[in-house]
A and B are shown apart, each in its own frame.
Chain A
């Protein structure tokens, strides 16, 4: 009884042999976000068993809790914010611990949303926002999800591209994603940057609108990753590879058809996972956007989990980008050895083995080139010059103190 659709028969051969996973039960942490779909599908829909693994999912209330449990071994691997993984590796706000990015989990699909009050005041685009931010009076207050997280970086990048200094001109606060809409409604924040379903949810509850999507800041930007500690990979290399294979399989399954995306939305909407109606999750998973301000479109770079492997490849340039932004905004006081650090964290070696075994194309280049919303090209070749080359930055530590 072999399953002939994928190279699983080969995979099964090594599961039984000396290449088999050293550890068969893995505890996997995640936050309730649409981005978690491939982990939930992999763990619950029989994608891990063919590789000799059972994945136990553990929903976490915060990124801090997820990080602590990953570092103390309660979790074997977890969904990670790119910036958080590098923050831990560099010792920013956490005990410095060598980390590993096993693969990318998704691209695109985050959004910057403003309150209904801002909408009524006519602040509905970058220009009007910049005007409002530079007026005297109360500073605008924006929420993101973690100090070193991706959402803080998308928010900063976009604001700076509009000429708004994200540290001096506005106030940036951390709010857990699931409380964003509540804070927007209470008028405690003027806007937020977070993953879905929270943007769609704000619109559904008439509390705000989507000002911009993360994919319009950087088309096909890296977002969540599958992360663990370097120590875990050293001790359980076969397990790490088997885990990548299981999640790659699940990612490919989700992106295969709209029908599979519908099934995925239905699954992850359950109370054990996101506990949000599938009808809220599905439209943006399918790229059907409604910004809540009269604009409806089919997005050309919607949330995706696989993209023929493009999404999952842990490009060195993706990892380095987050370090350039840490440098730009003063979280790093000096330029780190960008390439050496990214080469240590991004586990291209194991990813390549896993992808090869599944017949998934692995790009020959470890760097990729992208043009971001301000027209600046990022290709990973000169990170220090890139980090220093922005008109707006924050190399003064006192900027940080002003933040709250």
Chain B
């Protein structure tokens, strides 16, 4: 079984390559520019292509899939319906797999297990999920800051809202961050 390992992001894939080799797979590295992928795939005829889920080269692989649609061994994204669980897990852990049709999903699973163990789990997305409580507070904070600003500037609600939004956009911040700053400032001034 021949695996093409596409390494075009900052993630370190060196150990993945070794692990796959140790597990008895033939591993080819591709570190060139993604534009050459279609030619590279045609040339080395891999059974499996592994690529970082966050690689910009992903969209190039889509073209490879589209082109091979009418060939005897089309390359498809690994989306075996019975294995949607492992696919989801793989994408979340940062690896996407394209396979030649006909490869047994059990063999594919073995490869993905190795790959997933080696890819850094993508915790970022989960870490960004805020608690529901916090979201509800966001709106209250914006309202509170608006009220403080109206008092400080002796202006209308609409003017206060416009001032806050202008500040947020020019500083590339969220409106809720600006609200936070107004509240902090007001606390400090003993309002």
Which A positions have Cβ atoms within 8 angstroms of B?
A: 1, 3-5, 24-25, 27, 41, 43-46, 49-50, 54, 56, 58, 60-65, 68-69, 72-74, 92-95, 143, 145-148, 173-176, 178-179, 183, 188-189, 263-264, 266-267, 269-273, 331, 397-398, 400-401, 403-404
B73 at interface, CB cutoff 8 A: no
Stretch at the interface among B14-22, B31-39, B99-107: B31-39
Residues of A with C-beta under 8 A to B87: 72
The 7 closest A-B pairs by CB, nearest first: A270-B172, A176-B56, A64-B58, A404-B38, A46-B175, A54-B135, A263-B169
Residue pair A45, B128 in contact (C-beta under 8 Å) = no
A54/B59 contact (C-beta < 8 A), A46-B175, A331-B66 known: no
Name the A residues within 8 Å of B136 (CB-CB). 24
CB closest chain-A residue, reference B134: A54
Q: B63, B130, B166, B175 — which one has the most chain A CB atoms within 10 A of its CB?
A: B63
A-B contact pairs, 11 of them (CB 8 A): A1-B146, A24-B135, A62-B58, A69-B91, A73-B88, A92-B66, A146-B62, A175-B35, A188-B33, A188-B35, A264-B169
Interface positions, chain B 52-74, Cβ under 8 Å from A, are 53-67, 69-71
Within 8 Å of chain A (Cβ to Cβ): is B109? no
Give the interface size class of chain B.
Answer: 35 or more
When the two chains form their complex, are residues A56 and B129 in contact, meaning their CB atoms are under 8 A apart?
yes
* Cα separation A73 to B165 with both chains bound (whole Å): 31
Min Cβ gap A251→B in Å is 15
What B residues does A68 contact at CB under 8 A?
A: 53, 91, 96
| A-contact bits for B150-168, CB 8 A (1 contact / 0 none) | 0000000110010001101
A189 contacts B142, C-beta separation under 8 Å: no
- B87-134: which have CB < 8 Å to A? 87-88, 91-92, 96, 125, 128-130, 132
| Contact indicator B175/A45 (Cβ below 8 Å) | yes
Knowing A62-B56, A404-B39 are in contact, say whether A266-B169 is a contact too (CB < 8 A).
yes
For chain B residues 161-191, which have a beta carbon within 8 Å of chain A? Answer: 161, 165-166, 168-170, 172-176
**Which chain B residues border A401 with CB–CB below 8 Å?**
67, 70-71
Candidates A24, A95, A147, A174; contact of B132 at CB < 8 Å: A24
A269 to B170, CA, bound (A): 10
Residues of chain B from 1 to 57 with CB closer than 8 A to chain A in the complex: 33-35, 38-39, 42, 53-57
Complex contacts, A44 vs chain B, CB 8 Å: 168, 173-175
Report Cα–Cα, A44/B173, bound state, in Å: 7
B88 partner residues in chain A, CB cutoff 8 A: 72-73
Contacts of B66 in A (CB 8 A): 92-93, 147-148, 331, 400
The one of A63, A188, A269, A398 that contacts B59, using a Cβ cutoff of 8 Å: A63
Chain A residue at minimal CB-CB distance from B161: A3
Contact at A49–B67, with CB atoms within 8 Å? no
The residue in chain B whose Cβ has the minimal distance to the Cβ of A45 is B175
A1 contacts B157, C-beta separation under 8 Å: yes
Query: In the complex, what residue of chain B is closest to A15 when comparing beta carbons?
Result: B139
Judging by beta carbons under 8 Å apart, are A173 and B147 in contact? no
Q: How far does the Cβ of A44 sit from chain B's closest Cβ, in whole Å?
A: 4
A92 to B34, CA, bound (A): 22
B60 touches A46 (CB 8 A): no
How far, in whole Å, are A244 and B118 apart by their CA atoms in the complex? 40
Give Cα A255–Cα B26 distance, bound, in whole angstroms.
Answer: 55
Partner of B147, one of A1, A60, A69: A1
CA distance A65 to B55 in the complex (A): 8
Assembly CA distance A10 to B180 (angstroms): 27
Contacts of B67 in A (CB 8 A): 400-401, 403-404
Across the interface, name the chain B residue whose C-beta is closest to A43.
B174
Residues from chain B with a CB closer than 8 A to the CB of A1 are 143, 146-147, 157
Complexed CA–CA distance, A62 and B174 (Å)? 25
Which residues of B sit under 8 angstroms from A272, Cβ to Cβ?
172
A94–B79 Cα distance when bound, in Å, is 8
